[in-house]
Structure 1
Amino acid sequence: METTENDSKSNKFNSTIDTVTGLVKAIPVYNDAIQPAAKEIGKSLTTVSKAINVALAPISVLIWGYEKISVFINQRLVEKLRHIPEDNIVTPDPSVVGPALEALRFSGNNEILRELYANLIATSMDKATILNAHPGFVEIIKNMTADEALILKLFINDPLIPLVDIKINIRNRKGEVDYLNNYSNIGKDARCQYEDLCPEYINNLCRLGLLHIPAGRSLTDPKAYDVLINREDFLELKTKFESEETEITCVDKYIQLTDFGSQFIKACIIDKDMSS
């Protein structure tokens, strides 16, 4: 009976060993099954990583260092302040020049925006214009695109620029649908790179407090809007939507500089060497 009991224990032990051994042997098979997928995921991640590195590689070139900023600023300040009497050139306010120099690290590669910073610094170094150099202008430039800077140049000579809101009127229901707000010739006149984004540019410049669209007001000369309603894309829109059921109508408006925007243009947009 003792032998039988021992045999039983031995059989259970051997059975357990066999089971464990079987599981251990099965593990490599399971790994082999998932390895191809894991390898593919690894390859995919490697590919994505390489693509990201390639995409980010130019950034290191675009971000300016101190030496590059110093060379640019020294050259541009000499040009912008060359007509200013030496006694009028003063040490700039650190709250203006410090953030401006820091911002140039990330905007120095953009020819249009870097000129705005250079103009601001030059303005802050001239006794005659130092009060125009508001410290908040650095943050405004940081929130602008190059196209928006080009748009502001239009307001140097044109204080009021016509805009219209385009609507689709439903004749029978006597209702209307907004189609496009702030339609204008501004993007074309400013030679914006992305002319179609002009309505969004206008919204942003208003948000920054530089421009303002007076509610419910329009220019007194109705001919001022002829340039808009005779644009090719507007005429195409009329052809597309006008029918017995619908018609295209416009709400005349205009956009103008705010006082803050006027100060910004004097400090940052107008070239200092041209205004001296």
Structure 2
Amino acid sequence: MEYRKGCRIIIPLNGAKNISIIERDFLFLNMEQQSKDSNIKSTIEAVASLVKAVPVYEDALQPAAKQIGGALETITKAVNAALAPVKVLVWGYEQIERWLVETVTKKLSNTPAENISAPAPNVVVPAIEALRYMGQEEELRALYANLIAAAMDSDTKVEAHPAYVEILKNLSSEEAKLLQSFSLQAAYPAIDVKGLAGDGTYILYKRCYNHLNRILNAEKGKLLPTYIDNLVRLGILETPLGVELSDQMAYVPLEVDAELNDLLAMITDQGREVRFVRLTIRLTVFGAQFIRQVVRSK
């Protein structure tokens, strides 16, 4: 795979009198390989080739084969129709370069020229490759741009960890929105809802209930437990046992939430006593660094 240098980054003056153009080496994947390297295009072409390879059967001689061939053609058309939108969603390297240079230039517009340097290849190259599939994901695109900008600033490039690219690849747009809330506040209250039986046994009815879903739409909010589990898996968040917020009043809105009324009534009808276990959803040390370098805009 080839690389090329010499991409010019033009930074707005913003009142500065002594800086107009900053030229720095920037690595970009060779755009001449764009069409050949596209896995999606190869997949679609492979399907088309498969159809062309199916022999044409004479109606009179091979009616059964004709029927099978017709069924295969119908399936192939359906596959092609399903894959067609992917062509639009996958960005080419020229498109990535245009967007990235413009975006990163804006993010570094207040950075001293002497602080701007070529980013580490093990950060920027995987990030650019991943951007091919993020053309329609505005929230995730912004995070990639933040990471590349951090990797080009001498004050922050040491903290631009290569692992951040892999984390971004495992995030949905909704999880990116959730992380924005943790850039404002490092910890949030949550509760487990349990039912205590007469013999002292517990049943967990709802785990880690919280109000972070209010920043998502109603449909995506149903997946909030999955999003939190994923962010915990990635080492960004944690819900340590026995750790509560110092502000105990922060749990009251959760415990009196009308959305829990039906659940609490069901627990009581089953002859169990409702118990709330107070929890904390918070950033890990690694997660706090990720927020600083990737989630917060420069």
Q: Where does residue 187 of structure 2 map in the other structure?
A: 160
Distance 1:226 1:39 in 2: 69
The one-letter code sitting in structure 2 at the alignment partner of 1:216 is G
- CA apart distance, 1:128: 1.3
Q: Where does residue 167 of structure 2 map in the other structure?
A: 140
Q: Which of residues 87, 98, 106 is equivalent to 1:79? A: 106
Mapped pair 1:124 → 2:124: no
Distance 1:189 1:249 in 2: 27
Q: Where does residue 104 of structure 1 map in the other structure?
A: 131
Q: Which of residues 106, 110, 117 is equivalent to 1:90? A: 117
Compared with structure 1, are the counterparts of its residues 96 and 221 closer, same or farther at alpha carbon in structure 2 (3 Å cutoff)? same
Residue correspondences, number: 239
Distance 1:110 1:243 in 2: 46
Deviations 1:79-126, CA, capped at 9 Å, x for gaps:
101111111111111111111000101122210101110000000111
Compared with structure 1, are the counterparts of its residues 192 and 75 closer, same or farther at alpha carbon in structure 2 (3 Å cutoff)? farther
Higher relative contact order (Cα pairs below 8 Å, separated by 6+ residues): 1
Contact 1:154 1:190 in 2 (8 A): no
Distance 2:193 2:213 in 1: 17
The one-letter code sitting in structure 1 at the alignment partner of 2:112 is P
Compared with structure 1, are the counterparts of its residues 42 and 176 closer, same or farther at alpha carbon in structure 2 (3 Å cutoff)? farther
TM-score scaled to structure 1, two decimals?
Answer: 0.79
Distance 2:202 2:72 in 1: 51
Q: Where does residue 201 of structure 1 map in the other structure?
A: 227
241-250 or 211-220, larger mean C-alpha shift: 241-250
Mapped pair 1:220 → 2:220: no
Distance 2:66 2:258 in 1: 56
Q: Where does residue 52 of structure 2 map in the other structure?
A: none
Contact 1:153 1:190 in 2 (8 A): no
Mapped pair 1:177 → 2:203: yes
- CA apart distance, 1:174: 3.3
Between structures 1 and 2, the one with greater helix share: 1
Distance 2:74 2:251 in 1: 54
Alignment RMSD = 2.2
Residue identity (%): 40
The one-letter code sitting in structure 2 at the alignment partner of 1:63 is V
Compared with structure 1, are the counterparts of its residues 244 and 195 closer, same or farther at alpha carbon in structure 2 (3 Å cutoff)? closer
DSSP 3-state at the match of 2:269: coil
- CA apart distance, 1:244: 5.6
Distance 1:191 1:77 in 2: 30
Q: Which of residues 59, 69, 89 is equivalent to 1:62? A: 89
Compared with structure 1, are the counterparts of its residues 244 and 65 closer, same or farther at alpha carbon in structure 2 (3 Å cutoff)? closer
